[in-house]
Amino acid sequence: MPVLVPISDQHFTMIDFTLEERTLDAIFSQWAADVVNPTPYTAIGGDDGISLIDAPALWPGGRDSLSVAYEGGIEVTPLYFGAGTSFTANLASNGINRYQSMDTGRRVALIYHPTGLDSGLSEFSGIRNSVVGLFRGSYNRTGEGVKFVARAVAGKRVEVAVDNTAAAAGVTVKAVVFAGTSVVSVADVGTIPRGQRYLIQMTTRGGAVSGTVVDQAGAPAARRVVIHERETGSVVGRGMSGTDGRYSIDVSLLPGKVMYVIALDDEVAPLTNAVIADRVVLQ
């Protein structure tokens, strides 16, 4: 069953943990085929550290970066602000040794740490564009032999395939919510035995909203469409309707929440907002 991890009142992730048959090379090659006009990542790595790298925003209006931890982990932050400072997170009671985090405010860390070992990022490379950030690396400072391939897809999800080639006690996978330097919650995702490979999917969307936009004459129209949570007014999805007026837009919202949908009418200046759905409940 997926693990639901609330990050804030408006943000969450659903985490799936499944056995993966493809090799990491096969996964990287398959995912890389979708990255058009890529820019290479700068190499990072070391022991007891963490780096902020460019990546597409996972939430509407969110930050266009995430953090890669040298002890085995990826941290994603819903909202944009400047880069924070690194610190040693106290997670020993949760079975995670020497984890280094970065204080970027309220965030979730997906940590895949070799049980009982001191890890370090020994290899890192990848490519990115405005839609996908794709990277891979190895943790082998003390012979732990943990390898990973990860991608972040704009507005949708983070996926990490982790291969435990050597760690006899397994690789512990947890989702940790931080607020600044404090631990808010820790959720157990699973353990990867030696010789096995798992795919971890962190979904930031709760579903999709569909409908049709018509112009003032009642004809189907291509328009920019923005979806707001009704309670807070926050933007939870945005996209375009086609020439037939139809749209289907992913939203970052928990099922059961209520939304309203606005089409932005470019026909007449100044820009006119037209409410096309006043109350939509995400199923």
pLDDT attached to residue 139: 94
* Whole-model pTM over 0.75: yes
Return the higher-pLDDT residue of 283 and 185.
Answer: 185
**Residue range 183-235, pLDDT digits in tens:** 999 999 999 999 999 999 998 877 788 888 888 788 888 888 888 888 888 78
Cα 179 to Cα 105: distance, rounded to the nearest angstrom = 5
Domain 207-281: which topology? Immunoglobulin-like (2.60.40)
- Is 116 strand, coil or helix? coil
pLDDT digits (tens, 9 = 90+) for 80-132: 666 678 999 999 999 888 899 999 989 999 999 999 888 999 999 999 999 99
Could you tell me where in the chain the CATH 2.60.40 domains are found?
A: 207-281
How confident is the prediction for the chain on average, in pLDDT?
Answer: 88
Q: What percent of the chain is predicted at pLDDT more than 70? A: 94
Report the C-alpha gap between 228 and 260 in whole angstroms: 5
Q: Give the pLDDT score at 266.
A: 59
Q: How is residue 215 written in tokens?
A: 């112009």
pLDDT in tens, 231-277: 888 788 888 899 998 999 888 777 778 888 888 765 555 556 677 76
